[in-house]
Structure 1
Amino acid sequence: MLNELGSIVRRLLLPLMACLLIAGGILWLIGQPKGAAWLWNGGTALVLAILLVDIVAGLLRLEAGLDLIAALAMGGALVLGESLAGIIIALMFSSGRALEDFAQNRARREMTALLSRVPKSAARYADGALQEVALADLLPGDRILVRCGEVVPVDGVIENGVAVLDESALTGEALPVRRLAGAPVMSGSTNAGDPFDLQATSTAAESTYAGIIRLVEAAGAAKAPMARLADRYALVFLFATLAIAGIAYGLSRDPIRALAVLVVATPCPLLLAVPVAIISGVSRCAKKGILVKGGGALERLTNIKTVIFDKTGTITDGRASLVEIKSESGRDPLELLRLAASLDQSSPHVMARALVSAARDRGLSLHTPVDVKEQPGSGISGQVDGHRLTVGGFAYAQAHAAETPFAQEIKTWIQRDGTAAIVVAINGTIAGALLLADQVRPEVGTVLRNLHGAGVARIVLATGDRVDQAASVAAFLDVDDVASEMKPSDKTDIVARERSYGPVLMAGDGVNDAPALAAADIGVAMGARGAAASSEAADVVILVDRLDRLVSAIHIARRSRNIALQSVYAGMGLSIAAMVAAAFGYLAPVEGALLQEIIDVAVILNALRALGRPIWPGSRQAGLSTETLLGLEAEHHALASVIDEIRMTADHLQQLPQADIRKHLSKLDLLLHEQLLPHEQRDDKEVYAKIRRQTSMPDALAGMSRVHMEIRRQVHNLTSLCKALPADGPSEAQRAEIQRLLYGLEAITRLHFAQEEEIYRSLESD
């Protein structure tokens, strides 16, 4: 009750002091100076009393600061009869507190928005009807209805239909995302489409959103080491102020001069600028989908010298993706994928989900399987479109298929490190295989370069993978060291070893990374799909599935710290200059109070710059909006089937009958002209042109435009070769030439897409 009353009184101080100042001014103008003095002294005494309570409370916590100067200034004004100076100091102090509260409230806006969105209940199915139940009553396995506009209350899996979800509060991504039946959904997402049924996979207390809320509360409770550093500065400044005031009085024997010195030093920017800038930096990180647990973590980000990355889920995407298809001669590889994915719709296995996702990304129409039987961990069988299918590992598929030369070819083909194969048998014969792998994130190259550019001395890859698997990834990454076959305890040992080079940052996403995250000077968890344990142990949680947010966090932290120090040094310098002027009698107490108010407002407004992007010329690069970036990446995903078709045509060219070759090549040529070339033309004329305008560099991306030219040249050569084919089909030499051209076109197009995705992500707007 007393705390609430004190909070109300503090909120009313600023308007009350303003009213007293104005009312006293009116009395003074109408010839009632005594009445004016009473009003002004009363307001000063009220603020002084509240301030003394705060000072005593701080001393009991062994904290001391510049509030003492404000108390001495107001007390001196009361004793010396400087009632106008006293009320101005009181108004100044109240406005400083109010401005600080406003700044911190604005800075926490993105953080508190999470708390305000916590749902209180959910609609659960029970006995064929819907019942509104408290979140605490939800259990894993419960089926709930998520209505339009509602916040998803617990983690779960979509039971049927398509869910359109707004995940901006969690990830910072502006556009809604589509989730199909069987897809996982994070609590805290908002249903932006039609109602859908969700099967809960956690309780409310164990859900993603509840974990984020706990992290938010922890972030708000922490006090930055930099703020404590500011407190130490404050003590030095306190003694300097008292010394200057004492010297002024000693030389002049005029207490008014000493009072003017105290007035012009009250309140100090140290008390305001540091917390405002730090909290603003934390808020800016939150806006980009980076949850920083307090100002201490933000400041530690500025001094990192070694970064240790876990591999799976951090350097790599953490999910299996389709990388290659091999099918028997005469069978359409995409049809093989469609049949296998149709059957795998019935399986909850992670590889099955990856296959279904790959088929849908390519726009394939999946049909409902029947007579489905699954052997967990081995494979699945059933009927699709009248075909008897077996999908799984090689041994499982071979057990349900006849021995053929192609089956042995597949057995050899799937033996690749770092990949997993799904073998497909159709009607008792091995028909092909699909190769999946966990691929390196497209932004990794940019992230590693930017970390080195930001002063990171060492980058280490630490993984539980075998030596050969770790080496295959590290071979094309710019890392300084690789540690493989790591256990959780081994990762903590690496953190301790690397600390000899300076402060260590550890980034990971799994439960096995949690000890190392806690042991590092700064732990960063990939929280979008990572384990809850890693998020709890980390100092920073990246909520969006983007590794480049780590670089953003470091840049934001350094900018926030620099802004805080700029405000402190500028504020202290201006205050000291004003104190010297007051000591020599050039500033009266009232003038000093007004000047110090201007200084305080200036440093707080400067500290608030940490909330926004840099505004100085040259400090901002050309930017692509998140919507544009997602659209460009979606176009690349949609064109995956075209690139697959190039590779598949090349693979089968030597086995195709003479009469079928022209038909296959004509089909491919049409795809290239209707889908691939228009995409490249739009990129060059619209996206590249926009980037060139924003950078004011007409030659920017010239190398990428040259690749567009090469792709067009290769497609033109293919068209020319097709037109020159004899009526009875190509010769062996022509087959070889076409095959060589197709493999080259596929390689250059895949590389070009990867380059574009890395460039586009590096240019995403803040």
Structure 2
Amino acid sequence: MATVRRYFDLILFLVSLLLLGAGAIGWWSGAGRWEAVCWTVSTVLGVVVSVSWVVISLRKHQLGVDLIAVLALLGALAVGEPFAGAMITVMLASGRLLEASAARRAQRDLSLLVERAPRTARRVGPGGVVEIPVDEVRRGDHLVVGPGEVVPVDGHLLEAAVLDESSLTGESRPVDRIAGETVRSGSVNAGPPIGLIATSEAASSTYAQIVRLVEQANADSAPFVRTADRFAVYFVPFTLALAGGAWLVTGDAVRAVAVLVVATPCPLLLAAPIAIMSGLSRSARLGVIIKGGEALERLAAGRVLILDKTGTVTRGEPEVSEVVTDGVEVDPDDLLRWAARLDQVSPHVMAASIVKAARTRGLALDLPVAVAEKSGYGIQGTVDGHLLRLGKASWILDREEPDWMQTARRRAASTSSLTVFVSVDGRPGGVILLEDPIRPDARRMIQSLRSAGVTRTVLLTGDRADIAQSVGALVGVDFVRADCDPAAKVQQVVAEAANGPTIMVGDGVNDAPALATAAVGVALAAGGATASSETADVVITGNRIDLLADAIMIAQRSKAIALQSVTVGMGLSLVAMVVAALGYLPPAVGALAQEGIDVLAIMVALRAVTPGRSHTLTLPPQDLALTQRLFDEHASVLPVVEQIRVVADSLATNPESLVATRKLLQRLESELLPHEHAEEHDLYPMMDELMSGPNATAALSRTHAEIDVQVARLHRLLDEIIGDAPTLADVTELRGLLYGLYAILKLHNAQEEEGLFSLLPDEQKHDPNSVATVAP
């Protein structure tokens, strides 16, 4: 019985088509009244099922357009037009079949995630590897994941791994992860067996959260109210009035039946659901789960975008931006390696960032000894025979801060960076600066949304006003509100509703109230299950905020196609109704005409299945390796850029300043300029072709020329200095030139990261901000 219910739409369609075809054969062969019997049975079948649909609608207190189909079928029987009735039955059956198919298509892209959910895990214990139910996994368990297996819970990798994260991010390429990195449940091991330490239980893991989102999205999609019902209040009375009028004026009941036949609103029954469900399906493939057709329509209507800063516009976790030392006693790489080795055993969030930065640079990390942690101050231990302390300045220093450390502190304060002070054998060793970098795709997303119809953008943050204004200016928002707590965010969302339908984007628990208040709440769920993702209408399961622009474009296109298909279908149906009322369209011909209208409306709606306009540029496979290589070079020369400012800061009228400046020039000419020339020769022509225009990289190319000129000026200036030490005039000239070159390079690098290198899949590159080390 369950099987019959599951395939009822298909069975109904096949039976109605068989009866229609059998009747046609009987009519063609002249076999008595065989055709009338077949067509009448089909019509009666249509009456039975359509009456049941009307009853279901009435129970929901809805006046469905199925009522017109019932009247048309009964009218066809009454006036002796069984062929028209059989055609209506086929139309209704095919409509239900297509609608069910569209629903299954949308659910298939979502439910595929559920089907892949791991049921067991392999835990390493004293007796070896034991397979256990995934619900029995506990934090700290040592797990093994074999080739092709799904990672059961979130955890830290014990060795390098190659992972397929397509179910989480939508990115089809395998991703290389290094030991110590976090791996999310739902990833598939695409390489040899790997070990990991569980950091969550199954119920709170990333994949469990996605499964809950999918189930909610499916539940919300199932009772989708058909667009037809919105028109039923007006369309049903109009149809009955037109059919009744034709009958009363002419006394011809056949005309009334003909009006009812061509009024059977299959364009309404089919077109809108097909288009809307196709939109849900396409968004799910991107890694954006939209919780139902209503949420999709509200997303398409959004005009005011409200963004939380931390974790949304920025990455949401601190990353090492600089390592500053005295440049004499301690090498920056050594300091970072020592600090990372000590921080391997610390649970502090900044410790994980320091370890990640060291692993990114390929630094070997052995375990420290004699580790002790002082709560609220820092951690100490012995590394390579040195006693290291990491933490607050008041804990690691027993003397006045040196000038270079004070400079690092001021720099951190101006950029709202976090600082970790390091002492080596009781002496100041260095300062590690960590900042929450802006996502490189944030500004491009804002620009893309403006082209999609968003008229106002707002940035909300609990950060102080000067930092908030800087971030807002860099990403290009219209308004910034700082010092916001959750209540203030809700207040701002309510206020912005006066400017249009609001879209609120956030990622944390404190964003949940604002997400619930906005017309559409969008949650970034890459970091795991939070209250925000449970509250939101739209959830981005990957770590790319620019997917929101594509999701909005998909929603707008799906809604527009739904309206187009309804307009075309119902417009032609209304014309056919008038023609039928005038007596020029008998029921049998009208049934055929209506079938043609249905096919046309469905063809219009099916355009939603095909890809539409997208703001995203995708690197061709043949260009990916080149872009990756130049990005790696780009990251490797960032320390050279930071060295420019340090040398400029420390310039003085002494021989050491001249030596440091000449060493810097040597690095600029041997490391920086060859990289810039390689970009100019290899990368920019490829990007011009990809971006469809020779001027796409013209501004960046002009900056390359300026960098060449400034380095050549520095070379000439150093050649002109007489003696072993620069004069005060020389120092002034050198410092101005170096600061200018530094500013040009910082802006140029930011533009490249935002415009060119952001096209690389985020999972395939290391953040260049995490590898800069600086010594004066």
Residue 631 (structure 2) aligns with = 636
1:755 and 1:650, CA in 2 relative to 1: closer, same or farther beyond 3 A? closer
Does the aligned pair in 1 maintain the 2:40–2:86 contact within 8 Å? yes
Q: C-alpha displacement at 1:318, in angstroms?
A: 0.8
Structure 2 residue matching 1:36: 3-state secondary structure: helix
Residue 431 (structure 1) aligns with = 429
The counterpart of 2:743, out of the listed 740, 744, 747, is: 747
1:60 and 1:369, CA in 2 relative to 1: closer, same or farther beyond 3 A? closer
> One-letter code of the match for 2:308?
D
1:751 and 1:333, CA in 2 relative to 1: closer, same or farther beyond 3 A? same
Structure 1 residue matching 2:544: 3-state secondary structure: coil
Higher alpha-carbon deviation: 504-513 or 39-48: 39-48
Residue 506 (structure 1) aligns with = 504
Q: C-alpha displacement at 1:536, in angstroms?
A: 0.6
- The TM-score normalised by the length of structure 1 is 0.89
For residues 504 and 358 of structure 1, the distance between their equivalents in structure 2, rounded to whole angstroms, comes to 38
Q: C-alpha displacement at 1:214, in angstroms?
A: 1.7
Does the aligned pair in 2 maintain the 1:510–1:530 contact within 8 Å? no
Q: C-alpha displacement at 1:372, in angstroms?
A: 4.9
Q: C-alpha displacement at 1:530, in angstroms?
A: 5.8
Structure 2 residue matching 1:524: 3-state secondary structure: strand
For residues 563 and 762 of structure 1, the distance between their equivalents in structure 2, rounded to whole angstroms, comes to 31
Q: C-alpha displacement at 1:571, in angstroms?
A: 1.0
Structure 1 residue matching 2:306: 3-state secondary structure: strand
Residue 688 (structure 1) aligns with = 688
Residue 245 (structure 2) aligns with = 247
Does the aligned pair in 2 maintain the 1:224–1:296 contact within 8 Å? no
Q: C-alpha displacement at 1:535, in angstroms?
A: 0.5
Higher alpha-carbon deviation: 755-764 or 424-433: 755-764
> One-letter code of the match for 2:691?
I
1:231 and 1:174, CA in 2 relative to 1: closer, same or farther beyond 3 A? same
> One-letter code of the match for 1:641?
S
For residues 658 and 302 of structure 2, the distance between their equivalents in structure 1, rounded to whole angstroms, comes to 63
Structure 1 residue matching 2:495: 3-state secondary structure: helix
> One-letter code of the match for 1:707?
T
For residues 253 and 528 of structure 2, the distance between their equivalents in structure 1, rounded to whole angstroms, comes to 64
For residues 149 and 43 of structure 1, the distance between their equivalents in structure 2, rounded to whole angstroms, comes to 51
For residues 207 and 636 of structure 1, the distance between their equivalents in structure 2, rounded to whole angstroms, comes to 32
> One-letter code of the match for 2:618?
L
Q: How does 1:21-40 map to 2 (within 5 A)?
A: 21-40=20-39
Q: C-alpha displacement at 1:521, in angstroms?
A: 1.9
Q: Deviations over 1:246-277 (max 9, x none)?
A: 22323333333222222222243112222222
Q: C-alpha displacement at 1:762, in angstroms?
A: 8.8
Does the aligned pair in 2 maintain the 1:402–1:428 contact within 8 Å? no
Q: Deviations over 1:415-458 (max 9, x none)?
A: 44511112222333212212111122223333334445544454
| 1:12 aligned onto 2:7 | no
Q: How does 1:525-536 map to 2 (within 5 A)?
A: 525-529=523-527, 532-536=530-534
1:753 and 1:647, CA in 2 relative to 1: closer, same or farther beyond 3 A? closer
| 1:759 aligned onto 2:758 | no
Residue 370 (structure 1) aligns with = 368
For residues 616 and 44 of structure 2, the distance between their equivalents in structure 1, rounded to whole angstroms, comes to 55
The counterpart of 2:640, out of the listed 629, 642, 645, is: 645
Residue 275 (structure 1) aligns with = 273
**Same amino acid, percent of matched pairs:** 44
Higher alpha-carbon deviation: 731-740 or 112-121: 731-740
Q: How does 1:634-673 map to 2 (within 5 A)?
A: 635-636=630-631, 638-648=633-643, 651-652=646-647, 654=651, 656=656, 662=662, 665-673=665-673
Structure 2 residue matching 1:309: 3-state secondary structure: strand
Q: C-alpha displacement at 1:642, in angstroms?
A: 0.8
Q: How does 1:694-733 map to 2 (within 5 A)?
A: 697-717=693-713
> One-letter code of the match for 2:687?
V
Q: How does 1:412-431 map to 2 (within 5 A)?
A: 414-416=412-414, 418-431=416-429
Structure 2 residue matching 1:124: 3-state secondary structure: strand
Unpaired segments of 5 or more residues in structure 1? none
> One-letter code of the match for 1:11?
L
For residues 668 and 345 of structure 1, the distance between their equivalents in structure 2, rounded to whole angstroms, comes to 34
For residues 710 and 408 of structure 1, the distance between their equivalents in structure 2, rounded to whole angstroms, comes to 32
For residues 656 and 340 of structure 1, the distance between their equivalents in structure 2, rounded to whole angstroms, comes to 29
Q: Deviations over 1:119-140 (max 9, x none)?
A: 2222223333222222233333
1:728 and 1:334, CA in 2 relative to 1: closer, same or farther beyond 3 A? same
> One-letter code of the match for 1:574?
L
Residue 623 (structure 1) aligns with = 617
Structure 2 residue matching 1:699: 3-state secondary structure: coil
Q: C-alpha displacement at 1:403, in angstroms?
A: 7.1
1:61 and 1:449, CA in 2 relative to 1: closer, same or farther beyond 3 A? same
Structure 2 residue matching 1:687: 3-state secondary structure: helix
1:78 and 1:319, CA in 2 relative to 1: closer, same or farther beyond 3 A? same
Does the aligned pair in 1 maintain the 2:549–2:615 contact within 8 Å? no
| 1:92 aligned onto 2:91 | yes
Residue 678 (structure 2) aligns with = 678
For residues 411 and 210 of structure 2, the distance between their equivalents in structure 1, rounded to whole angstroms, comes to 44
Residue 41 (structure 1) aligns with = 40
Structure 2 residue matching 1:148: 3-state secondary structure: coil
Residue 55 (structure 1) aligns with = 54
Higher alpha-carbon deviation: 717-726 or 196-205: 717-726
Structure 2 residue matching 1:133: 3-state secondary structure: strand
1:740 and 1:393, CA in 2 relative to 1: closer, same or farther beyond 3 A? same
Does the aligned pair in 2 maintain the 1:422–1:435 contact within 8 Å? yes
- The TM-score normalised by the length of structure 2 is 0.88
For residues 637 and 387 of structure 2, the distance between their equivalents in structure 1, rounded to whole angstroms, comes to 28
> One-letter code of the match for 2:682?
R
Q: C-alpha displacement at 1:115, in angstroms?
A: 1.9
Structure 1 residue matching 2:113: 3-state secondary structure: helix
Does the aligned pair in 2 maintain the 1:511–1:532 contact within 8 Å? yes
For residues 358 and 745 of structure 2, the distance between their equivalents in structure 1, rounded to whole angstroms, comes to 20
For residues 431 and 461 of structure 1, the distance between their equivalents in structure 2, rounded to whole angstroms, comes to 38
1:45 and 1:6, CA in 2 relative to 1: closer, same or farther beyond 3 A? farther
For residues 326 and 256 of structure 2, the distance between their equivalents in structure 1, rounded to whole angstroms, comes to 95
1:116 and 1:727, CA in 2 relative to 1: closer, same or farther beyond 3 A? farther
1:682 and 1:112, CA in 2 relative to 1: closer, same or farther beyond 3 A? same
Residue 484 (structure 2) aligns with = 486
Does the aligned pair in 1 maintain the 2:209–2:528 contact within 8 Å? no
Residue 79 (structure 1) aligns with = 78
The counterpart of 2:519, out of the listed 512, 518, 521, is: 521
Q: Deviations over 1:162-208 (max 9, x none)?
A: 12222211221222223333322222222222222233333322222
> One-letter code of the match for 2:283?
C
Structure 1 residue matching 2:637: 3-state secondary structure: helix
Structure 2 residue matching 1:205: 3-state secondary structure: helix
1:719 and 1:469, CA in 2 relative to 1: closer, same or farther beyond 3 A? closer
For residues 684 and 561 of structure 2, the distance between their equivalents in structure 1, rounded to whole angstroms, comes to 39
For residues 755 and 658 of structure 2, the distance between their equivalents in structure 1, rounded to whole angstroms, comes to 43
Does the aligned pair in 2 maintain the 1:338–1:366 contact within 8 Å? yes
Q: C-alpha displacement at 1:637, in angstroms?
A: 5.5
Structure 1 residue matching 2:156: 3-state secondary structure: strand
> One-letter code of the match for 2:435?
A
Higher alpha-carbon deviation: 676-685 or 727-736: 727-736
For residues 556 and 708 of structure 2, the distance between their equivalents in structure 1, rounded to whole angstroms, comes to 44
Number of corresponding residues? 753
Q: C-alpha displacement at 1:724, in angstroms?
A: 7.5
| 1:150 aligned onto 2:149 | yes
For residues 733 and 172 of structure 2, the distance between their equivalents in structure 1, rounded to whole angstroms, comes to 47
Q: How does 1:252-651 map to 2 (within 5 A)?
A: 252-330=250-328, 331-361=330-360, 363-375=361-373, 376-398=375-397, 414-416=412-414, 418-474=416-472, 476=474, 478-529=476-527, 532-614=530-612, 623-625=617-619, 632=627, 635-636=630-631, 638-648=633-643, 651=646
For residues 298 and 676 of structure 2, the distance between their equivalents in structure 1, rounded to whole angstroms, comes to 46
Does the aligned pair in 2 maintain the 1:443–1:757 contact within 8 Å? no
Does the aligned pair in 2 maintain the 1:51–1:71 contact within 8 Å? yes
Does the aligned pair in 1 maintain the 2:393–2:421 contact within 8 Å? yes
For residues 369 and 379 of structure 2, the distance between their equivalents in structure 1, rounded to whole angstroms, comes to 10
Higher alpha-carbon deviation: 334-343 or 199-208: 334-343
> One-letter code of the match for 2:643?
M
Residue 771 (structure 2) aligns with = none
Residue 111 (structure 2) aligns with = 112
Q: C-alpha displacement at 1:218, in angstroms?
A: 1.8
For residues 172 and 626 of structure 1, the distance between their equivalents in structure 2, rounded to whole angstroms, comes to 17
